[in-house]
Amino acid sequence: MPVILALGAVTAAPAPARSQNALQPFQSELRIDGLFARSSAVEAAYGVSIPAGLYVRNGLVAGLGAGRHGLEGRTDFVTRFSADPFRQSRWAPYGGAGLSGRYRPTADGGSKAYLLVFLGIEGPLTNGAAAGWVPAFEVGLGGGVRVGFILRRGITGRR
């Protein structure tokens, strides 16, 4: 009898319906950033972020590019807050902060860490699609003024 009760409890437990979407574990992005300071640079970067709640995502961005005196790179640890996490508007603002490490030749000031703050606007999925790449534009401060164009992987029903 106890085995029958246990089997009944296990099979009667609610299961997610197939139409429900599981949360996407991570979101990737491709970026082109201009960093303007005493030592300016243009960098291509790849980033990954994970949800930290409905409105917040934490992420890591790694970039590589050309500066005044040759090759340079950066690593950013960021937290992004979306004002429209459910895609209720076509374009939605977001903001964030984090830490940035810039790795430059000694002639450009060498490697240093900076605080990072940024504001951005993220666009819509194309033609009402449920998934795809969305454009975003970003400006910020962190080792200089930053201006970026981003293609971020869209999340179904979320930003």
Residue 18 lies in a domain: no
Under the banding of pLDDT at 50, 70 and 90, the label for residue 88 is confident
Residues 6+ apart with CB under 8 A from 137: 120, 121, 148, 149, 150
DSSP string, 45-99: EEEEEEESSSSEEEEEEEEEEEETTEEEEEEEEEEEEES-TT--SSSEEEEEEEE
Residue 10 lies in a domain: no
Residue 5 lies in a domain: no
Residue 78 lies in a domain: yes
Window from 20-34, 70-84, 95-109 with minimum mean pLDDT: 20-34
Tally of domains in the chain: 1
Residue 120 lies in a domain: yes
Residue 17 lies in a domain: no
Digit-coded pLDDT (tens) for 130-156? 678 999 999 999 989 999 999 999 877
CA angle 16, 22, 23 (to 5 degrees): 140
Beta bridge partners of 159: none
Domain that holds residue 114: 28-153
The CATH code of the domain that includes 89 is 2.40.160.20
Residue 113 lies in a domain: yes
Q: Does the structure show a pLDDT above 90 at 114?
A: yes
Residues 6+ apart with CB under 8 A from 58: 49, 50, 52, 77, 78, 79, 80
State what percent of residues in the chain have pLDDT above 90: 63
| Ramachandran class of 106: left when φ > 0, alpha when ψ lies in -120 to 50, beta otherwise | alpha
CB 100 within 8 A of CB 113: yes
Window from 21-30, 40-49, 65-74 with minimum mean pLDDT: 21-30
Residue 4 lies in a domain: no
CB 86 within 8 A of CB 115: no
